[in-house]
Amino acid sequence: MNNTVKMEFYDRFRCIADKCSFTCCQNWDILVDEDTLGKWKSDEKQSEAFCKNVKSKKRNRKTEYYIKMNPRKGCPFLNEKGLCNIVISNGDEYLSKACRAFPRQENNFGDLDEYSLSCACPAVVDIIYNIDGTVKFLHDADDNLMDNLLPEYKIREVMMSIMQNCNFSLTDKILLTFHMLLSVKEEPGMAAEIRKKYQSEEYLSSLTGIWSGIKIDNEDSFQETKELFLDIILNYKKEMTFRDYLQGIADLAEDEEIDDNLFLTQWNDFKMEFVQYEKLMENCIISKIFANCVSEDIDEMLLAFQVVITEYIMVRYSVFLKSLLEEKYCNESQPQTTKKVRTNNIIPYNITRDYIVIYSRIIGYNADGIREFWEDSFEEAVWEFGYMLLLIN
């Protein structure tokens, strides 16, 4: 039996090619599998044209092959109209497996195959945005198989159940999920009992009641978010693909002439307004948990979840800054001593979508680098609960 689980909208995805605002043919390594390379080498007419644009890398004593990107970090096969010359001349079957697959993702757990889509593609985010309610998954799997899956798989099932619980805010669902993972890390031998507790509505409510009474310093929260944002985009804000999205908001975040108290007030107001995209962000988080948050190592699950939530934190803060710039909320005409920041309640969808795509690429496809950053910044890469609470406040 072919046992599968896939996102309900998986088969609806269609590449929009030259109409895409973010080409997937730029700014990352594109793997060329050996079957595709062999096909290119055996092509009598085009072998040289294909293979001169391939480079090799040694990794763990194994040779891997990648597209040799041009000086603008773009694929040499991408033409000026945003179309792939390989597809134009030879069809999709001549593409590498990586190119044919993106943004599709596949996980395999023994006899079970899972299929999802990456939010690093704007067409995928558009699909998620238009979902009515929470994202659903289509199961075509033997019940006995599902019952006998690894404990780590069952932990992920509880994570997704919490994130899809409509009785809690997105902030509380993130905290509940993280708290459960930390509990399993602290007592791995009690994982089954912990999973059962976090399936209880009464227990979840008792936890949210505890931290709802914790007083968070809004200024500390805002400053911590800003510092995390500036650290993460440091190596990306000048790259051509991301410059227009990151350089201006980085400059705004570092602008010492803006009244900090007023900036904080506008940030608090913005977070209330951003609730209009809470369902979109929630469904993106659920999609990413499904695709990335399962491992035999509980630390790996925690780190994968931190990556997902870091993307959410960065999207929200970046949309805030970009909205200020786009609508000219910075009152440049006033004297520097009275310079103000203004806001309203209109947040364009395209801005939110673009930052979801950007951070899915910057963070989601550079998870190892983000983890190294955490290891350098903290005593260990796994966050303390209080730090998570501070960031998503």
**Quick one: CA torsion of 26, 28, 33, 36, rounded to 10 degrees?**
10
Phi, psi of 299 (to 5 degrees): -65, -40
Confidence at residue 327, expressed as pLDDT on a 0 to 100 scale: 66
Q: Is the pTM of this model over 0.95?
A: no
**Low-confidence residues in the chain, pLDDT < 50:** 329-343
Q: Which of 252, 254, 174, 232 is nearest to 361 (CA)?
A: 232
pLDDT tens digits, residue range 181-199?
999 999 999 999 999 999 9
Confidence at residue 150, expressed as pLDDT on a 0 to 100 scale: 77
> Cα separation of 241 and 251, whole Å?
17
Q: What is the DSSP letter of 383?
A: P
One-character DSSP codes across 155-212: HHHHHHHHHT-TTS-HHHHHHHHHHHHHHHHH-GGGHHHHHHHTT-HHHHHHHHHHHH
> Cα separation of 378 and 214, whole Å?
23
Confidence at residue 342, expressed as pLDDT on a 0 to 100 scale: 46
Element at 83 (helix H, strand E): none
Q: What are the Cα distances from residue 56, in Å, to 30, 44, 50, 71, 369?
A: 11, 21, 14, 17, 21
Confidence at residue 345, expressed as pLDDT on a 0 to 100 scale: 60
pLDDT tens digits, residue range 1-51?
568 999 999 999 988 877 887 878 877 778 888 888 888 888 888 888 888
If one counts every other C-beta atom within 10 angstroms of the C-beta of residue 212, the result is 8
Element at 54 (helix H, strand E): strand 54-59
